[in-house]
Structure 1
Amino acid sequence: MDELDLIRTRAETVGFAPAERLAPARERLLAAARGPRRHRPRRRLWVAGASVGLAAAITAVVALTPADQVGVGAGVAHADPVKVLTAAAHHALKEPAEPPRPDQFLYVKTEEPEHHIREVWFSVDGTRDSLIAGVKDGGCRNGKAPMYGTNDPRKEGTLQDCTPRPVYRTDLPTTADAMLAYLEAQAGDQKGNVNSMGKSVYDLAYEQVLPPASYAALFEAAARVPGLTALDHVTDGAGRPGVGITWPVPPGSSPAAKPEVIVFDATTYQFLGTPETAVTVKTYVDEVGQRP
């Protein structure tokens, strides 16, 4: 590793300080560089020492600078998972509480790295045909739903038994205790699997809608799950910066298993998505195909 690599590594680790805070360190380094070097054999040692000194000077400046002055954003440095999720619950309570009409559709636009876009239109009450990434999903009416996308022309449009699946969830708890019990029940035979609970939290925040009180209960319940950690300086699938909450992989999992990471805005604590998927638009429209 040469001196530039060393400096770059240190800078990436601790962030950048404003130019005016680096000016004194810069002057000291330039003064040292202009100093006499009478013995040529010591030159190589001086260069290496200057590299370490520059990295240390940068580290000292940024380490003593408040977090909101080194480009990492307020609320990001030394994030605590309980505080982040509690703040997310408070943010949820500020969201508009007016429910959608049953005949409307939830429109969600998500973005993945390299600008891959996904769009969905879900029936609010589950009785109308939805459109999910270009594929129709039959609404459930009178206990029957048409089948689409079966790859079998003989089955296309035929009816099957169903139960309506409203995308606007009014059936969920509004207290942290009850929501935690709900999340544990969702894990089924994997009870105690916190990664599974993390996926349930993500699913409810991703392409479904809860009343504000239920969203607040969801994040408050999540804050009680043991083993969570916060990740500073993460980005969602659209590249937006935020703070991540990591749900640990259970003991005995496959080596290929990855922890669930949910990303929140570091200032407002609004749910953003994951490092792979970002929710960029989420609203109600009156018909399939309509965009806000």
Structure 2
Amino acid sequence: MDELDLIRDRADTIGFAPAEHLTPARERLLAAARGERPHRSRRLFWAAGASIGLAAAITAVVALAPADRVGIGAGVAHADPVKVLTEAASSALKEPAKPPRPDQFLYVKTEYAIPPNREVWLSVDGTRDSLIGNSKEGGCRNGKAPMYGTNDPRAEGTLEDCVPESVYRTDLPTTADAMLAYLYGKEADRDGRATYIGKAVYTLAYEQVLQPASYAALFEAAAKVPGLTALDHVTDGAGRPGVGIRFPVPPGSSPKAQPIVLVFDATTYQFLGTEDSAVMVKTYVDEVGRRP
């Protein structure tokens, strides 16, 4: 085992220190490194305890330095992204199907790394008024939906044409290939649309409800997207640890373009959210404004 292998081994064991611990810890390490030691002691240290010292030094480096400074990548996981998404699909299949009543509401509470957080009450069949935060969204009844929150008070409550949209999706494919075709739609440039697929997967897994077979197909379809990367030591928007699946940005994107990273529980592979958001509660309630 060479030094780089030893670094990787120690990194897997102890992980990385949080950012707020790095500066004082580095200062202590550098202060110790500057301390005077007798030459004889230094020679004895390397002669008698080189292996132990190397392991300790590696532990300090791994714990204190950013990942990209010790040559093991920015948190790149040893797990294969296809395996992670396949396990997520298997986990989804084990979830019991819970068809809601048409008159119920889907309640979703989301926490963000940067507040404010979000609560929504979405009409299951799309015919009743929903609530997104403090904003009402008109339900579609008999082809008409009332308008709320308009800039023109005279338009408040007026009706506009609509088609009811259900958050309980029974119309989605249940196989990976069919789901992938659904996600891509008419997009021909598949190599450049990985970010689009990542966002589409997030949208379906977030504030909508799929049947277990469709959830499984969703993650299996995502596993077929080229260029995915599995990331260790990531957290969702609420700080929960997990494994991340990063969807690459399209070729030629701005250097500032941020890839979407979906976060899954590292043990159960349940979908948690993204690095910026966390789905904390997702269930049905009987009334707008009611919390479970």
Partner of 2:291: 291
Is this contact kept in 1: 2:195–2:248, CA < 8 A? yes
Q: Helix, strand or coil for the counterpart of 1:164?
A: coil
Is this contact kept in 1: 2:106–2:121, CA < 8 A? yes
Partner of 2:104: 104
CA distance in 2 between counterparts of 1:154 and 1:47 reads 83
Q: Helix, strand or coil for the counterpart of 1:205?
A: helix
Partner of 2:200: 200
Is this contact kept in 2: 1:82–1:223, CA < 8 A? yes
Is this contact kept in 2: 1:146–1:157, CA < 8 A? yes
Query: 1:116 Cα shift?
Result: 3.8
Q: Helix, strand or coil for the counterpart of 1:79?
A: coil
Query: 1:149 Cα shift?
Result: 1.2
Alignment-mate amino acid for residue 16 of structure 1 = I
- TM-score where L is the length of structure 2: 0.77
Number of aligned positions between the proteins = 250
- The question of 1:56 aligning with 2:50 is answered no
RMSD: 3.2
Deviations 1:164-220 (A, max 9, x none): 1111111110111110100111x7476541110110000000111101010011011
CA distance in 2 between counterparts of 1:288 and 1:212 reads 26
231-240 vs 187-196, which deviates more?
187-196
Query: 1:77 Cα shift?
Result: 5.6
Q: Helix, strand or coil for the counterpart of 1:204?
A: helix
Query: 1:118 Cα shift?
Result: 1.0
Is this contact kept in 1: 2:104–2:286, CA < 8 A? yes
Deviations 1:107-131 (A, max 9, x none): 0001112664210000001111100
Alignment-mate amino acid for residue 256 of structure 2 = A
Partner of 1:29: none
Query: 1:92 Cα shift?
Result: 0.6
Matches within 5 A, 1:78-227: 78-113=78-113, 116-185=116-185, 188=187, 191-192=190-191, 193-227=193-227
Is this contact kept in 2: 1:190–1:196, CA < 8 A? no
CA distance in 1 between counterparts of 2:46 and 2:130 reads 64
Query: 1:48 Cα shift?
Result: 10
CA distance in 2 between counterparts of 1:281 and 1:167 reads 16
Query: 1:51 Cα shift?
Result: 10
CA 1:112–1:48 in 2, change beyond 3 Å: closer, same or farther? farther
Show structure 1 runs of 5+ residues with no match: 1-8, 18-36, 64-75
CA 1:153–1:115 in 2, change beyond 3 Å: closer, same or farther? closer
Q: Helix, strand or coil for the counterpart of 1:111?
A: strand
CA 1:10–1:97 in 2, change beyond 3 Å: closer, same or farther? closer
Q: Helix, strand or coil for the counterpart of 1:121?
A: strand
Deviations 1:89-114 (A, max 9, x none): 11111111131011100000011126
Show structure 2 runs of 5+ residues with no match: 1-6, 16-35, 63-75
Partner of 2:14: 16
Query: 1:279 Cα shift?
Result: 0.2
Partner of 1:31: none
Is this contact kept in 2: 1:14–1:59, CA < 8 A? no
Q: Helix, strand or coil for the counterpart of 1:172?
A: coil
CA distance in 2 between counterparts of 1:154 and 1:235 reads 46
CA 1:77–1:252 in 2, change beyond 3 Å: closer, same or farther? closer
Is this contact kept in 1: 2:10–2:58, CA < 8 A? no
Query: 1:80 Cα shift?
Result: 1.1
CA distance in 1 between counterparts of 2:253 and 2:116 reads 30
Alignment-mate amino acid for residue 234 of structure 2 = V
Partner of 2:233: 233
Is this contact kept in 2: 1:110–1:119, CA < 8 A? yes
Percent identity, please. 69
Matches within 5 A, 1:240-255: 240-255=240-255
Query: 1:54 Cα shift?
Result: 3.5
Query: 1:150 Cα shift?
Result: 1.3
